[in-house]
Structure 1
């Protein structure tokens, strides 16, 4: 018997046992143990057909009646699957509370084939509401039940790890996010359903490596996966890889390659009207052109990203553009334009609690102020940035803040200078794997 048939037979046996009010122990005897009964109900493949036949006889379930009961069981499973599809659609269109209500109405016991799916969708719903603790609880339940279920072809385990990694990412727990992603890749069933999960895990792993500053490792990952991306049907996921390829190429100094992939990605995003991806790629393109000192094309690229502001809702992108535009103007010694751009970046970041890009803007504004000889004012910006980086765990930016303060105190206040140098060392030691490089736009 194939695995799915075994599972369906197990479901029939479990339902009959429960309807009759019997425990696992009530069916056990010298020929069959409670554990074997449980394995049969869960569809474990290594149980012998003789044991299954013996249990069917004990329950007085004739083999000739079994096909009819299996058809009924399949019909019930089809209804549950349809209800889950309804839940997924409601969540997708923003009707989260209604989706959760439908899940509450879907009463499934812990041995049901779709119980892990129900917890998975509950986790997705809570993620949409940014209720991270409830989402994590639901997903850990999905993991637990999937791991107990021998029928793993749905790839629910990998899918649950994917969502857990995203929850960690949204809470700035990058190492944990990376660990969950690796777990998802390790447990992925190659010939199972939901094949798109694997490529999403690879894409997200690249993003987490980027955030952790592990640029070489991230580039290697993207290069290894690149031959597979042409098979990706979802344009948004495909563009995620184009962004990673362009960004990693830029960060390791291969600017022409960065420009090539950014421009290819922009064309794909334009054809598919994916404005978020288009904006991200214009930002990378502007940064690459800045590195090659092609000022006009860099400025145009950043302004193209800003023109997309009305087309997307994520304010972080606008903040990032103004930060990078400010850096560009500083390189051109257009100090007033630089100050105006950086102040806009800070204004957006404060409005939307974008602390990551707020710290970047403050550091850049401190650099601009310092270059104008206003050291005391620069120190205020650097200290404000330092407080943010320490509060939110942005170690690389904390290192930069200490370095900038040391620069201000050098030759002026030896005690403060030594204090900054000591803290630079401690920050570097705490973040041993961080690649501290002078990338102008590594945010």
Structure 2
């Protein structure tokens, strides 16, 4: 089938020329649309350029502006030849935009590139088809549009799997599976997350590129295992990876990701002195390399170690040191748990009003960043501080909100703690809710006990502890 001669490619330069002609005449796109009978959306598309349009539309514009369409097409429609290397370079630049500079601009550049590349079939080649899907997956993941992210990552995986090529040189399949695991982790679908991350580890090509993805897969697997309360298994995995990667991990960021998870697992398992040792190692590296997010996490973890050891003055200093970095960190939601735990420490030290105000800030931040799990924890801690200040009814209101959220998101162990506190207030004040709360508390207790008393007590104990780090992005 021959090419459609009525379809003309509009370059960015030609589109800009048409835009300038309109502006010289001081017309809006809508006014021009009325003048020449061309849809406003068509005018907008032509002026943006990097698109195909019907020749008739260009003739209408040229006729109105008094221009020769033949002369314009000679000067403006020559298309540069784009080979595979150039296209890969563009995709790499777009990935940088999505990760580091302007998320929305990166997506717009990808859209324009796809439109342009359709003309010579460049995107039909292996890798160049799944790569845009991978980038769209990253875009939607950062936008917290989980379903769209899963769809794009999944499409990329299918395209790579069905390719005639046996080796995935860019390790895009592993990267996409890791992205799918992260999304499932965010949605608390832990079994699915573990399945995806295991598939990503299996698909990884050690002779390919993006070596850091292998470490991110291991890190994410450890995080998922921890969320599944398989703490010892998670720690053994991290220790094994640390031993393997002590000489091969070239990125301080990757090494500190591993170290931080090791520290948090040691804290969770009650091995506080070991955790403190590794924090000191990590803080030195974070300071030397200027890694603010990691420094924030490490100071917070050190505060947790000292708090669990009962050294509240040390814990207070560590949390305060972390919060001095709050203005420099990119992942602003990290500050929620640090404010929460500092507020608890203040209350433990008898600084009740200071503790309450700090916990109020934690709640405010959790609402701002829509972090429901940390919001529930902050609300529970705030309610406990209010009880200490003899403000039981204010505390009860916060517990009611926490209860609603915990039930909606199935935070069962948190719900146990909430109902325990609510029943205590109900009993003291002879509230009408007492019977309902007591029955609900008994139901959740029985449900948790089905998993075994040891597991239940382990879960209850970890309610008040810091959750393990967020998964690293690729």
**8 Å contact from structure 2 (residues 416, 441) kept in 1:** no
Shift of 1:355: 1.9
1:106 aligns with 2:92: no
- Which one of the candidate residues 447, 452, 456 is aligned to 1:426? 447
Q: Report what 1:271 is aligned to.
A: 288
Cα deviations by residue, 1:129-152 (Å, 9 ceiling, x for unpaired): 444333322221211111112332
Sort the Cα spacing of 1:378 and 1:122 in 2 relative to 1 into closer, same or farther, 3 A. closer
Greater RCO (CA < 8 Å, at least 6 residues apart): 2
- Which one of the candidate residues 389, 394, 404 is aligned to 1:387? 404
Sort the Cα spacing of 1:385 and 1:129 in 2 relative to 1 into closer, same or farther, 3 A. closer
Shift of 1:113: 4.4
For residues 248 and 311 of structure 1, what CA distance do their matches in structure 2 show? 26
For residues 213 and 408 of structure 1, what CA distance do their matches in structure 2 show? 30
Shift of 1:431: 11
For residues 249 and 173 of structure 2, what CA distance do their matches in structure 1 show? 21
For residues 173 and 317 of structure 2, what CA distance do their matches in structure 1 show? 45
1:363 aligns with 2:380: yes
TM-score (norm 1): 0.76
- Which one of the candidate residues 165, 181, 186 is aligned to 2:181? 165
Q: Report what 1:307 is aligned to.
A: 324
Sort the Cα spacing of 1:364 and 1:143 in 2 relative to 1 into closer, same or farther, 3 A. same
Sort the Cα spacing of 1:304 and 1:414 in 2 relative to 1 into closer, same or farther, 3 A. same
For residues 355 and 103 of structure 1, what CA distance do their matches in structure 2 show? 37
Shift of 1:251: 0.7
- Range moving further from structure 2, 388-397 or 290-299: 388-397
SS where residue 204 of structure 2 aligns?
Answer: coil
Sort the Cα spacing of 1:129 and 1:332 in 2 relative to 1 into closer, same or farther, 3 A. closer
Q: Report what 1:125 is aligned to.
A: 139
Shift of 1:380: 2.5
Sort the Cα spacing of 1:113 and 1:337 in 2 relative to 1 into closer, same or farther, 3 A. closer
Q: Output aligned runs, 1:84-95, within 5 Å.
A: 84-92=91-99, 93-94=101-102, 95=105
SS where residue 112 of structure 1 aligns?
Answer: coil
Sort the Cα spacing of 1:254 and 1:126 in 2 relative to 1 into closer, same or farther, 3 A. same
Cα deviations by residue, 1:327-380 (Å, 9 ceiling, x for unpaired): 112222332222121112112222332222211111112223334555444332
Q: Report what 1:134 is aligned to.
A: 148
Q: Report what 1:77 is aligned to.
A: 84
1:288 aligns with 2:288: no
Cα deviations by residue, 1:15-46 (Å, 9 ceiling, x for unpaired): xxx99xxxxxxxxxxxxxxxxxxxxxxxxxxx
Sort the Cα spacing of 1:372 and 1:79 in 2 relative to 1 into closer, same or farther, 3 A. closer
For residues 400 and 253 of structure 2, what CA distance do their matches in structure 1 show? 39
- Which one of the candidate residues 168, 177, 201 is aligned to 1:153? 168
**8 Å contact from structure 2 (residues 419, 440) kept in 1:** no
- Which one of the candidate residues 241, 257, 262 is aligned to 1:225? 241
**8 Å contact from structure 2 (residues 222, 237) kept in 1:** yes
For residues 138 and 238 of structure 1, what CA distance do their matches in structure 2 show? 29
Sort the Cα spacing of 1:232 and 1:368 in 2 relative to 1 into closer, same or farther, 3 A. same
Q: Report what 2:461 is aligned to.
A: 438
Sort the Cα spacing of 1:301 and 1:176 in 2 relative to 1 into closer, same or farther, 3 A. same
**8 Å contact from structure 2 (residues 337, 466) kept in 1:** no
Sort the Cα spacing of 1:431 and 1:267 in 2 relative to 1 into closer, same or farther, 3 A. farther
RMSD (Å), alpha carbons: 2.7
Sort the Cα spacing of 1:120 and 1:171 in 2 relative to 1 into closer, same or farther, 3 A. same
1:234 aligns with 2:251: yes
Shift of 1:427: 5.4
Shift of 1:326: 1.3
For residues 418 and 122 of structure 1, what CA distance do their matches in structure 2 show? 47
- Range moving further from structure 2, 405-414 or 305-314: 405-414
For residues 323 and 227 of structure 2, what CA distance do their matches in structure 1 show? 23
Unaligned stretches of 5+ residues in structure 2? 3-81, 468-474
For residues 317 and 83 of structure 1, what CA distance do their matches in structure 2 show? 33
For residues 199 and 136 of structure 1, what CA distance do their matches in structure 2 show? 21
Sort the Cα spacing of 1:421 and 1:409 in 2 relative to 1 into closer, same or farther, 3 A. farther
Shift of 1:430: 8.5
Q: Report what 2:269 is aligned to.
A: 252
1:335 aligns with 2:335: no
Number of residue pairs matched? Answer: 371
**8 Å contact from structure 2 (residues 256, 294) kept in 1:** yes
Q: Output aligned runs, 1:176-255, within 5 Å.
A: 176-230=192-246, 231-255=248-272
